[in-house]
Chains A and B, each alone.
Chain A
Amino acid sequence: MLAYIGSLAALFLTAVYTIDPFTTDIVKTVSGENFSELASKSVYRAITIRTVGIAAAVTVIDLLLAVPMALYIAKVARPRVRRLLIVAVLMPLWASYLVKGYSWRAILDPGSGVLTKTFGGSPGFGVTATIIGLAYLWLPYMILPIQAGLERLPDSLLEASADLGGRSAITIRKVVLPILVPAIIAGTIFTFSLSLGDYITVQILGGKTQMIGNAVYANFGSNNIPFASAFAIVPVAIMVGYLLAVRRTGAFENL
């Protein structure tokens, strides 16, 4: 644990260094150069905004799918069906992340993909395809904490609400949601953070789209570790900010 924090700290310390453009050696003089470059160049701002936008879109799509699915699994399905459904949601987690990305490539390929051949059209590769792919990959991570949260919600509470005249919509809003919110936030921590740092799905599905992860990877590859570290701080800062903001909701207990 300490080793992990230590190596993170060491990484972020290098963010204030720069590299010698000819030797690519790290010049150990403290400067804010990397950060001012990040803040001033429109290309990096665009990458950051795009990445956060993609992560937010993925999270919203997963929420829209996961909440009804988790409600159905936990509160509507019979016990036998419930067990089957949980297994059905867990299983795709074992399939290779890369192969799932590749499979979406086969589905979305604008020329000869499954969608084009079957329905005659496809969104093609780009931001939309990246969002679909990421939403697909992280959907189980959203369903599982919400479903687990709902399992802890006693049926008697729902019945009490119904007995008191609360219709489905009101029961969901007044009884289910307060218990659900921490579980939902736990799910969003997964989908948001996993999307923020992704650089492989976007390579497979994004066409020329660049996310923060690609920029970090490229700078790491070209040995500009200080700049890579500086850019890596962006998603970390966003995530830590998010974690601190939701700490009070009790979401960590639902992870």
Chain B
Amino acid sequence: MRFTAATRRLLGTITAFGLVFLYAPLVVVAILSFNTSRSFSWPPDGFTTSWWGKAWESTDIRTSLANSAKTALAASLIAVVLGTLVSFAVQRHRFFGRETLSLLVILPIALPGIVTGIALNRAFRSLGAQMGFLTLVVAHATFCIVIIYNNVVARLRRLSPNMEEASADLGADSWQTFRYVTFPMLRSALLAGGLLAFALSFDEIVVTTFTSGPGFQTLPLWIFSNMFRPNNLPLVNVVATAVVLLSIIPVWLAQRLTDSE
């Protein structure tokens, strides 16, 4: 026994309340996606699945969904590589400015998105870059790196360097050590971090507003421009509900993978 029955009940009640708080708005959106009315009405006027059909056929939605997925994938892959490198540097080596680097690396997530967005927007423009896929990926990678870095550093801190030393003593070169010893121990941290980075990038709107071009619309940008148009509101509800439902798969998979290790 660790907590008294009363404490456990109290914790359980707050948790239940917290979950209701977390899910009530999502349930409202899901219900509204079946509402016959074009504009917001509560309680719903009637039941229809026609919005789901319309959303499925919309090329706008498909394109922005694909754009978001491409951006999130590219940004998280870049972040996995760079984030791992930075965390190795900070965790395994001692050098001048190491403390500063560990503070700097978390800045993109600790600073407001609008500041990051405007700063990158100004920088891209002064370099003469065309706003679009590439600028967006670079912008998203800055905050995705933080996620990977945090996950990998936390893992590295718990891993003993003895394993790597043993591998080197047994004659493995540094690539073999990384490939057969370090990487397997990092895999689940990379996966969990990569997934969170993907999710963050997929839903990012503030930095995106400043670093994407007119020709490259992501899903959040599509939602933002359609949310206040009465005719498209039901479609926004459908897309939002669908994305939450689809996200069960990766979240569950990641959870299983981390558990099994």
A positions within 8 Å CB-CB of B = 1, 3-8, 10-11, 14, 65-66, 68-69, 71-73, 75-76, 83, 85-100, 102-104, 106-107, 109, 112-114, 117, 136, 139-140, 143, 155, 158-159, 162, 167-169, 171, 189-190, 193-194, 196-200, 212-213, 216-217, 220, 225, 228-229, 232, 235-236, 239, 243, 247, 252-253, 255
B170 interface residue per 8 A CB criterion: no
Chain A residue numbers with a CB within 8 Å of B240 are 95-96, 99
**Looking at the complex, which one of B18, B111, B123, B255 makes contact with A86 (CB distance below 8 Å)?**
B255
Number of A-B contacts (CB under 8 A): 233
B positions within 8 Å CB-CB of A = 1-4, 7-8, 10-12, 14-15, 17-19, 21-26, 28-29, 32, 40-43, 82, 86, 102-116, 118-120, 122-123, 126, 138, 142, 145-146, 150, 153-154, 157, 196, 199, 202-203, 205-206, 219-220, 223-224, 227, 236-237, 239-240, 243-244, 246-248, 251-252, 255, 259
Q: Are B203 and A235 in contact (CB under 8 A)?
A: no
Q: In the complex, what distance in Å separates the CA atom of A229 from the CA atom of B142?
A: 20
Q: Are B86 and A1 in contact (CB under 8 A)?
A: yes
Closest-CB distance, B228 to chain A (whole angstroms):
9
Nearest chain-A residue to B41 (Cβ)?
A112
Q: In the complex, what distance in Å separates the CA atom of A142 from the CA atom of B82?
A: 26
Q: Are B105 and A103 in contact (CB under 8 A)?
A: no
Q: Are B123 and A10 in contact (CB under 8 A)?
A: yes
Interface class of chain A by DSSP: helix
Q: Are A239 and B119 in contact (CB under 8 A)?
A: no
Interface centre among B12, B123, B202 (most CB of A within 10 A): B123
Q: In the complex, what distance in Å separates the CA atom of A103 from the CA atom of B42?
A: 12
Chain B residue numbers with a CB within 8 Å of A103 are 25-26, 28-29
Chain B residue numbers with a CB within 8 Å of A162 are 1-2
